[in-house]
């Protein structure tokens, strides 16, 4: 099989959450353990950082990987899902895994796959781990897919664990309350391994504290170590002032090329992680951090997070798809004070739209669409649900039709936002 045949095989033969939802999930780690044992336990052959959370884990992964890369290390990065190319999930120093490596891995292990019946995600994780081991990375930053405790990535023993935040998402799989969701995410906390907690509150902190104490895992709260203040937003950078817990300036005028006010939290996670890794015999200098933060997109090839597509009209897309994430993105849109806001919006069927639709501005003009995946919610159904919240617009046959409709309607002083789902964003970037 060539590369396209291989990817088609993986999409069609293997249960894939990205396309079909919860029925693709394997609620245990037996398969991934057996798969990796057959491959020679590659997950034990490289150092790693493990990152979980409802939102921000992808951005935190990319920022931290960029810091390590700029410091001269060979850095693996595993993220999910992908936007355009499957290979986005597995990178070393920002370079995608080769098509040849993907083809050879699947061809060599196809009989095993047919016997084990692993999910798409399990095979992808095993491929990433083997690739990082054979390429002898200095360290790999591993993002969980969903949850943590039973996530296929949770067979590594990292140098450091990071939990970015807890919000309502995938309740059908992770639980209906914040403590239940936090318990699943806290499953990545390992015995004697330091864990960094980004955002937390009264319902989630006791979950992290209890598990960390039980496992003797040193608990680090970003807010107790760093104070980060947004100084200025330009078209290309956000500029921050970072001080320590004593109020002493640590990183004055730190430029980050990832826009969106929510990145303040992800920056804090990565900065504290860099400090902890320096205690583990890595060397990440201040100069490395300044250069890396100003060039995250270039170094890590990050996509889909407050990604500006053009200026007049101003067009931006963002992958935020739940209440927690959209609470940061939507106010930033309204703060632009555009003449008119146009929203190209699509969601997946398993999303609780009644929780997110009230967040969207009633004054915007909406272009409802369905991404080209089975999980996508019918655009007309979305339009009808949105109307209940006084969000008005038109249902389109495709994401591109909706996007072109918005571009055609927009004045040069208007703003167009594309979002609601990573799959909608993927069809316009």
- Domain holding 254: CATH number? 3.40.1190.10
Give the C-alpha separation, 44 to 129, whole Å.
9
pLDDT higher than threshold 80 for residue 202? yes
Query: Do 271 and 346 belong to one domain?
Result: no
* 152 lies in the same domain as 235: yes
Q: Is the pLDDT of residue 172 over 60?
A: no
Q: What is the average pLDDT across 184-200?
A: 96
Q: Does residue 219 share a domain with residue 325?
A: no
- Of residues 406, 400, 409, the one with CA closest to residue 371: 400
CA–CA separation, 262 vs 239, rounded Å?
A: 13
Give me the pLDDT at residue 262, please: 86
Cα(96)–Cα(71) distance, integer angstroms: 20
**Tens digit of pLDDT for each residue in 76-111?**
999 998 999 999 999 999 999 999 999 999 999 999
Tell me the backbone φ, ψ of residue 113, rounded to 5 degrees.
Answer: -60, -40
Q: Give the model's pLDDT for residue 20.
A: 45
**What is the rounded distance in angstroms from the CA atom of residue 224 to the CA atom of residue 199?**
11
Element (H, E) at 249: strand 249-256
**Residue 175 pLDDT:** 53
Whether omega for the bond prior to residue 81 falls within 30 degrees of 0, making it cis, is yes
The DSSP output letter for 83 is S
Instruction: Look up the CATH number of the domain holding residue 332.
Output: 3.90.190.20
Per the structure, the complete domain to which residue 42 belongs is given by: 3-300
DSSP 244: E
Confidence band for 160, pLDDT divided at 50, 70 and 90: very high
pLDDT of residue 303: 93
**Same structural domain, 329 and 357:** yes
How far is it, in rounded angstroms, from Cα 18 to Cα 426? 12
Contact between 24 and 118 under an 8 Å Cβ cutoff? The reply is: no
Same domain, 268 and 368: no
Within 10 A of 38 (CB to CB), how many other CB atoms are there?
12
Q: Which residues pair with 142 in a beta bridge?
A: 50, 78
Contact present, 308 and 231 (Cβ < 8 Å): no
Mean pLDDT rounded to a whole number for the chain = 92
To the nearest 10 degrees (0 to 180), the angle between helices 99-116 and 3-13 is 30
Is the pLDDT score of 197 beyond 90?
A: yes
What confidence tens digit (pLDDT) does each residue in 370-404 have?
999 888 999 999 999 999 999 999 999 999 999 99
Same domain, residue pair 111 and 231: yes
Task: Identify the residue whose tokens are 């990292």.
Answer: 158
Which residue, of 259, 276, 300, is where some domain finishes?
Answer: 300
358 in the same domain as 287:
no
pLDDT score, position 169: 56
Closest CA to 235 of 290, 309, 334: 309
CA 70 to CA 309: how far, in whole Å? Answer: 26
Beta strands in 288-340 (DSSP E): 307-310, 314-317
Distance CA 396, CA 414 (A): 21
pLDDT tens, 34-55?
999 999 999 999 999 999 998 8
Quickly list H helices, 337-421. Answer: 353-356, 379-387, 399-409
- In angstroms, the CA 188 to CA 169 distance is 18
Of the candidates 28, 356, 305, 18, the one whose C-alpha atom is nearest the C-alpha of residue 167 is 356
Q: How far apart are CA 269 and CA 266, in angstroms?
A: 5
Say yes or no: 272 and 342 in one domain: no
Which residues pair with residue 195 across a beta bridge? 161, 219
pLDDT in tens, 1-15: 899 999 988 888 776
Asked if 7 contacts 103 with a C-beta cutoff of 8 angstroms, the reply is no
Tell me: do 342 and 259 sit in the same domain.
Answer: no
- 21, pLDDT greater than 60: no
Mean pLDDT of 247-255: 96
pLDDT at 157: 98
Residues 314, 178 within the same domain: no
Residue 1, classed as helix, strand or coil, is coil
Taking the C-alpha atoms of residue 35 and residue 72, their distance in angstroms, rounded to an integer, is 32
Rounded Cα distance, 381 and 368, in Å: 9
Count of domains in the chain?
Answer: 2
| Contact between 157 and 193 (Cβ < 8 Å) | yes
- pLDDT band with cut points at 50, 70 and 90 for residue 25: very low
Instruction: Cite the beta strand spans of 69-218 per DSSP E.
Output: 75-78, 90-92, 95-96, 139-143, 160-163, 195-197
295 and 374 part of one domain:
no
Domain boundary among 260, 275, 300: 300
Boundary of a domain, candidates 270, 300, 330 = 300
- Do residues 86 and 231 share a domain? yes
């Amino acid at each position: 099989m060539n590369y396209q045949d291989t990817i088609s095989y993986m999409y069609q033969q293997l249960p894939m959450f990205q396309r079909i939802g919860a029925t693709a999930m394997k609620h245990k780690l037996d398969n991934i353990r057996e798969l990796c044992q057959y491959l020679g336990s590659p997950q034990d052959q490289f150092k790693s950082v493990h990152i979980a959370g409802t939102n921000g884990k992808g951005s935190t992964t990319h920022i931290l990987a960029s810091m390590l890369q700029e410091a001269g290390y060979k850095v693996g990065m595993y993220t999910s899902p992908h936007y355009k190319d499957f290979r986005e999930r597995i990178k070393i120093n920002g370079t995608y895994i080769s098509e040849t490596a993907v083809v050879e891995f699947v061809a060599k292990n196809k009989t095993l796959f047919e016997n084990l019946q692993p999910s798409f995600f399990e095979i992808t994780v095993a491929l990433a781990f083997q690739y990082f081991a054979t390429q002898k990375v200095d360290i790999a930053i591993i993002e969980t897919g969903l949850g943590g405790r039973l996530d296929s990535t949770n067979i590594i023993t990292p140098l450091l664990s990071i939990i970015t935040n807890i919000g309502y998402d995938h309740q059908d799989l992770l639980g209906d309350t914040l403590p239940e969701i936090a318990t699943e995410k806290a499953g990545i906390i390992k015995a004697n391994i330091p864990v960094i907690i980004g955002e937390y509150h009264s319902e989630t902190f006791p979950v992290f504290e209890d598990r960390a104490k039980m496992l003797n895992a040193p608990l680090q709260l970003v807010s107790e170590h760093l104070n980060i203040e947004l100084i200025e937003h330009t078209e290309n950078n956000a500029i921050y002032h970072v001080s320590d817990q004593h109020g002493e300036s640590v990183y004055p005028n730190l430029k980050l090329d990832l826009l969106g006010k929510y990145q303040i939290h992800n920056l804090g996670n990565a900065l504290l992680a860099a400090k902890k890794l320096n205690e583990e015999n890595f060397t990440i200098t201040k100069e490395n951090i300044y250069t890396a933060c100003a060039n995250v997109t270039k170094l890590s090839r990050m996509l889909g997070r407050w990604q500006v597509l053009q200026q007049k009209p101003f067009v931006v897309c963002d992958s935020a798809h739940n209440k927690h994430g959209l609470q940061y993105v939507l106010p930033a849109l309204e703060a632009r004070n555009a003449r008119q806001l146009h929203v190209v919006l699509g969601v997946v069927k398993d999303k609780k739209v009644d929780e997110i639709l009230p967040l969207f501005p009633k004054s915007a003009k909406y272009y409802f669409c369905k991404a080209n995946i089975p999980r996508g919610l019918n655009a007309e159904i979305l339009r009808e649900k949105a109307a209940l919240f006084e969000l008005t617009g038109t249902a389109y046959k495709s994401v591109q039709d909706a996007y072109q409709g918005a571009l055609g309607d927009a004045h040069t002083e208007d703003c167009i936002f594309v979002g609601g789902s990573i799959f909608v964003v993927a069809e316009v970037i």
